[in-house]
Amino acid sequence: MNKKLIGLAFASILGILFLNLTCEPPSEAETTGKINGTISDATTSQPISGVMITTNPVTSSKTTDSEGNFLIEGVEPSTYTIQASKNGYKTNSTTVSVVAGEESSADIQLSPLTPELSVSATSLSFGTSSTNLTFTISNTGVGTLTWSIISSSNWITINPTSGSTESESDVVTVTVDRTGMNYGNYYETITIASNTNSKTVDIIMTVANLNAPQLSAYPISLDFGTSAPEMSFYISNSGTGMLTWNITDDKSWISYSPNSGTTESEADEINVNIDRTGFLPGSYTGNIYISSDGGNQTITVSMTIPDEPSLSVSTNSLDFGSSETRLTFDITNVGSGDLAWSVTDNKDWIIVSPTSGTNYSTINVSIDRTDLSPGNYSGLLTISSNGGTYNVEISMNVPANAPPTAIQLYAPTNINTTSMSFSWAMSYDTDFLSYKLYRSTNSNVSESSYPVTTIVNRYTTSYSDESLQDGTTYYYRLYVEDEAHQTTGSNIVTGATLSAPGDWGVFATMSVDLHWISALNNNLVYTVGDSGKIYKWNGAVWTNEQSPTTERLGGVAVIAQNDVWIAGEKGIWHFNGSFWSQEAGYPTSACYGMDYASSDSVWVAGVGVIHFYNGSGWITSSPGTQRIWDIDINNSTNGWAVSQDGKVFHYNGAAWSLFIDCVGNYSYGVWATNESNVWVGGYNCPATNSISYYYDANHWDGSDWTGFISDDTIYDIEGTTENDVWLVGYYGCIYHWNGSSFSKMNSPTSKDIT
């Protein structure tokens, strides 16, 4: 971007601007990583605050914020177990692998602790003589358990029928009454309900037959669940004499032994087996029928075929070659149900994250070649699960002693007349020996060039080169040296020291007063002034160019050879390389200073207005002031303007707003880099409560104004850096700011410099 230059001193200021090189600030290479995550309720999925987060190995403990989030910074690369704990929740953990310069995610769900109903028995068998039996109710969870018992049989009495417990056990007595009941077997199921879950207890009672055999079988149901292969029930004679019995069933998957027998007083044990072969997931029910000369009974048999998870792995090998450090593969459940898996490795140089989980996951595998000798290495990952086992082969190569890895040298910063600063990315080579910085005044900088410095600490990644010549362009290159004294050079960067202020001289004398100048390069410069005069510099001579107006011109912007704008008392004109034009829609009112950020971002100061060209047309805004004298545009989101009535305006990319309303007189010039470095020049302006005396040049540092120069009106301000600012004005005065103080320079004229 070109800035307004001082007409009579064009050559010196232009030289300084060409030497002002800017660059992006360097970034230090990161050696640690971060762990972040969100802790949520497993039941509601809502975030949980106040959860204590700890790691193993130990890093630093954290507590989740109101959104359930945590962040642990400065974590050394390794594999960590992250544990989350809070009162009222079950503690849970996960495993992550931390990589330098990256954030690893460790989201965890916590299940709330609730009351849990537990009953000591699933059945009570009273036989032919027992009348009172007991079972206990307990709370195996957290909190208060409230319970109640429901029974619909009048031969059963329960005491108590309800209660509550936190940690103690409640004893429940069940009483049966055989009075008036016919002989036979009686069955009832009572339900214990609670505020969390429910349980059932089977009640079995027999009224004996005193005159004949009587069949009694117990228990009356067999539930094999998902895995039990064998269960038993018993056949007894609750009557008199000899009982003869026989067993049949209605399902082919049920088998038992024995299938017939006799009993007088003993209980015969019947072993029951089931065969799950060939069944799809689901629940299945069958019956065992017992017939006898003392009655008949049915035993219910049930089983569940669980879902069948099946492990699938996206690859059977990972080859890291000689340079890769991180690869991934996927674990997938291609069956039904939940697949629970874990990953183990057999080599210390293999790092896996995560190491366990359910169903789908992407597995990150990293390798560490540190301290390994050159050669080929292999290892093995084993993925174990309830849906099968799978192996992934790991292979990698540690290369022979190659030259050092090239690192990036960043463009110089803090450039002044005699020094500039450098920084670079850190070398991570294990055989690092030193950094060597070289410079030259030509682009062929190499190890035969001037040696600036040698640094043996790998963590020292910056240096300031002092005692340079002002106004000189230098080229730099940084070499990394390893223990075998092999070297590898970085990219080449260039920087030019600022020219030290010297004596001014008259470069050219025109026939009219000049008010603005703009340079594209050393071979293309325009300056404009009174009577519509336009002068062009082609690198050798000045020429008086044809002008579209005879009125005073106060602004010019040279964007390209065929893209030049001028502004004056009759508005704005554009030069396309062949002719000047003022097309429909162009401003035609009085205009003054102008600046630009690009070919489609041109700004012009006017009388109480600011004109903006967006590449297709002009837009006019009114910030609310009088005549605007000067405008300074840094980029599309940072612009500044000052007005005749002492107001300073700032443009933030969307609109102009008042930055400060001075209580002084005129403001003529503005130059700024950001909201903490603003220079304003004029006559007795600005003044604020912190400035009791009026000054002609003032600086805003982000919090307050500081006044300078009280005896010369300042008409214009331009700078290259915060430490190199030039002010000109009344009777040819010229001032230079070096970052700490002003120097009044010799001037080649006693005329006003505008």
Pick the CATH number of 36-110 from 3.90.105.10, 2.40.50.140, 2.30.30.90, 2.60.40.1120: 2.60.40.1120
Q: What does pTM read for this prediction?
A: 0.39
With cut-offs at 50, 70 and 90, classify the pLDDT of residue 740.
confident
DSSP letters spanning 330-341: EEEE-SSSPPEE
Percentage of the chain surpassing pLDDT 90? 54
Whether 68 has a pLDDT exceeding 80, the answer reads: yes
Q: Does residue 689 register a pLDDT over 60? A: no
Provide the CATH number for the domain formed by 420-496 in this structure: 2.60.40.10
pLDDT at 88: 84
Instruction: Report whether CATH 2.120.10.30 matches the domain 623-754.
Output: yes
The predicted model gives 588-601 an average pLDDT of 90
Average pLDDT over residues 606-614: 91
Instruction: State mean pLDDT over 41-62.
Output: 91
Task: Kindly state the average pLDDT of the residues 656-683.
Answer: 80
Look at residue 260 and tell me whether its pLDDT is greater than 90: yes
According to DSSP, residue 30 is labeled: P
Average pLDDT over residues 528-538: 89
| Mean pLDDT of the chain, nearest integer | 87
Per the document, the length of the chain is: 754
Q: Is the pLDDT of residue 632 over 80?
A: yes
Which residue would you say has higher pLDDT here, 245 or 521? Answer: 245
Using alpha carbons, select from 536, 498, 346 the residue that is nearest to residue 417.
498
Distance (Å, whole) CA 69 – CA 47: 8
Which residues neighbour 292 within 8 Å (Cβ) at sequence distance 6 or greater?
Answer: 213, 215, 243, 244, 245, 246
CA dihedral 573, 577, 578, 584 (to 10 degrees): -30
User: Is pLDDT at 464 greater than 90 in this prediction?
Assistant: yes
Token code pair at residue 26: 């360097």
What pLDDT, on the 0 to 100 scale, is given for residue 14? Answer: 34
Q: Does domain 117-305 have CATH number 3.40.50.1000?
A: no
d(C-alpha 186, C-alpha 382), whole Å: 56
Three-class secondary structure of residue 209 per DSSP: coil
- Which helix (H) or strand (E) covers residue 17, if one does? helix 10-18
Element (H, E) at 642: strand 638-643
The answer to whether residues 138 and 68 touch, using CB atoms and an 8 Å cutoff, is: no
| Alpha carbon distance 468, 30 (integer Å) | 32
Portions of the chain given CATH number 2.60.40.10: 117-305, 311-398, 420-496
pLDDT at 491 > cutoff 90: yes
Residue 293 has pLDDT above 90, yes or no: yes
Instruction: Tell me the pLDDT tens digit for each residue of 119-156.
Output: 999 889 998 889 999 999 999 888 899 999 988 889 99
Task: Read off the pLDDT of residues 92-128 as tens digits, 9 standing for 90 and up.
Answer: 999 888 888 899 999 999 988 889 999 999 889 998 8
Q: Residue 726: phi, psi to the nearest 5?
A: -120, 140
First to last CA, the chain: 20
Q: What is the reported pLDDT for 3? A: 46
What pLDDT band is residue 663 in, cutting at 50, 70 and 90? very low
> What average pLDDT does this structure show over 389-414?
91
Q: Does position 538 have pLDDT exceeding 50, yes or no?
A: yes
Enumerate the CATH 2.120.10.30 domain ranges in the chain, comma separated. 623-754
CATH code for the domain defined by 311-398: 2.60.40.10
CA 376 to CA 399: how far, in whole Å? 8
- Is the model's pLDDT at 686 over the cut of 70? no
